[in-house]
Amino acid sequence: SQTRHFHIAAIPGDGVGGEVVEAGRHVLDALAAASHGTLAFTWREFPWGSDHYARTGRMLDEDGLDQVRDFDALYFGAVGWPTVPDHVSLWGLRLRLCQGFDQWANVRPVRFPPGVTSPLRRADTAELDWVVVRENSEGEYGGFGGRNFAARGRGGEVAVQSAVFTEVGCERIIRFAFDLARTRTRRKVSSVTKSNAQQYGMVLWDEVFTRVAADYPDVATESVLVDAMAAKFVLRPEDLSVVVASNLNADILSDLGSALAGSLGLAASANLNPERRYPSMFEPVHGSAPDIAGKGVCNPIGAVGSAALMLEHFGLAAEAERVQRAIRTTCAQGVLTADVGGGATTKDVTAALIDNLAD
């Protein structure tokens, strides 16, 4: 049969980014090697990140977006290192790619692998599986604002950080959440805002949510304020299926979700340009973890799960499920890194994942 061939731009970035991207590449290469020639991945690595910034004064090349525009996908590690202010590194690389390629939907599944102890007391008995859908193009990370240090000086300075909510931006992410809910066993969308306190943008979001919900009578809905949703993640997570929220709120909630599952190192994410005009980007939820970088002990599962989301995006559902199954088996076998209570190295876990790809 024919070979399906995918070209992937790997952007390891900083810190553990390099270690987890390498792990994900090994797993996908093993999948291709076992495919009897039906599947092939070609990788090209881009050395962007804080070292690149030290050498060139830029987090990514000036024509960086053009360099990766024609790839089938971007596979990203993490960005951020103590040598560069975090807002410079994040805006200079990750947000540049997400916004430049209009990756407006950030999908962050919260999964509880077997064999990993959750800090949730009831997690063992409940069937927990939900998805955070994050608006990824505007909201609190719209980048509008300013500071007037020059005019007022230290002590008197004023800073404004605006949040941007457009009707188009709200509607497309909310519709995306409803469409995703229709693919799940539990058809429910929970919308998260703080519209009691933020009376403009988030009230617009709430109104759009109500309007879009009318087009999906088969999907159950709820609107929950973000502080209450934080509590609900802990107390009634079995009641969640798809949780849609603004950029900042979903960023926070997805870290909470992955911590509840056992570790930030477990969580996967997809930054999607659903129209497929630009490449989408797949990355673990965690950052560069400077405290453990370079030691070979970081958890590769978030990055490998992100590779599985990339396979899904390529239309390779069976292969994606094979990787997800390998993750569950590896965790159930107790091959775990230190963040989830084990003694395995990144390489040990990667080797086990590859072994477990075979049925």
Q: Is 86 in the site for ligand NAI (CB under 6 A)?
A: yes
Tell me which residues in 2-31 interact with ligand NAI (CB under 6 A). Answer: 16, 20
Q: Is 264 in the site for ligand NAI (CB under 6 A)?
A: yes
Contact (CB, 8 A) for 101 and 36? no
16 is in the binding site of which of ligand NAI, Mg ion, none (Cβ under 5 to 8 A by kind)?
Answer: ligand NAI
Q: How far apart are CA 259 and CA 177, in angstroms?
A: 23
In angstroms, give the least distance from the CB of 48 to Mg ion.
Answer: 19
- Comparing CA positions, the residue from 116, 110, 36 lying closest to residue 358 is 36
Q: How far apart are CA 315 and CA 99, in angstroms?
A: 24
Q: How far apart are CA 135 and CA 355, in angstroms?
A: 36
Among all residues, whose Cβ is closest to ligand NAI? 80
Contact (CB, 8 A) for 103 and 138? no
Q: Is 299 in the site for ligand NAI (CB under 6 A)?
A: yes
Q: Determine which residue in the list 292, 304, 311, 327 makes contact with ligand NAI, applying CB under 6 A.
A: 292
Q: What are the catalytic residues?
A: 141, 194, 227, 251, 255
Q: Is 138 in the site for ligand NAI (CB under 6 A)?
A: no
Q: What's phi and psi for 99, nearest 5 deg?
A: -80, -40
Q: Determine which residue in the list 64, 257, 265, 305 makes contact with ligand NAI, applying CB under 6 A.
A: 265
Q: Is 295 in the site for ligand NAI (CB under 6 A)?
A: no
Q: How far is CA 55 from CA 62, 78, 89, in A?
A: 14, 19, 14
Q: Determine which residue in the list 237, 257, 279, 287 makes contact with ligand NAI, applying CB under 6 A.
A: 287
Three-state DSSP at 110 gives strand
Q: Is 251 in the site for Mg ion (CB under 5 A)?
A: yes
Region of 49 (left: φ > 0; alpha: ψ -120 to 50; beta: rest) is left
251 is in the binding site of which of ligand NAI, Mg ion, none (Cβ under 5 to 8 A by kind)?
Answer: Mg ion
Report the b/e string of 75-90 with b at 16+ CB within 10 A.
Answer: bbbbbbbeebeeeebb
Return the number of the residue (90 or 203) whose C-beta is nearest ligand NAI.
90
User: How many chain residues touch ligand NAI (CB under 6 A)?
Assistant: 23
Q: Is 330 in the site for ligand NAI (CB under 6 A)?
A: no
In angstroms, give the least distance from the CB of 130 to ligand NAI.
Answer: 20
351 is in the binding site of which of ligand NAI, Mg ion, none (Cβ under 5 to 8 A by kind)?
Answer: none
9 is in the binding site of which of ligand NAI, Mg ion, none (Cβ under 5 to 8 A by kind)?
Answer: none
Tell me the β-bridge partners of 108: 132
Number of Cβ atoms within 10 Å of the Cβ of 32: 18
Q: How far apart are CA 322 and CA 313, in angstroms?
A: 15
Return the number of the residue (120 or 289) whose C-beta is nearest ligand NAI.
289
Q: Determine which residue in the list 247, 288, 329, 350 makes contact with ligand NAI, applying CB under 6 A.
A: 288
- Residue at token pair 């929950």: 224
Q: How far apart are CA 308 and CA 179, in angstroms?
A: 20
Residues lying near ligand NAI in the complex (CB under 6 A): 16, 20, 78-80, 86, 90, 94, 264-265, 283, 286-292, 298-299, 302, 337, 339
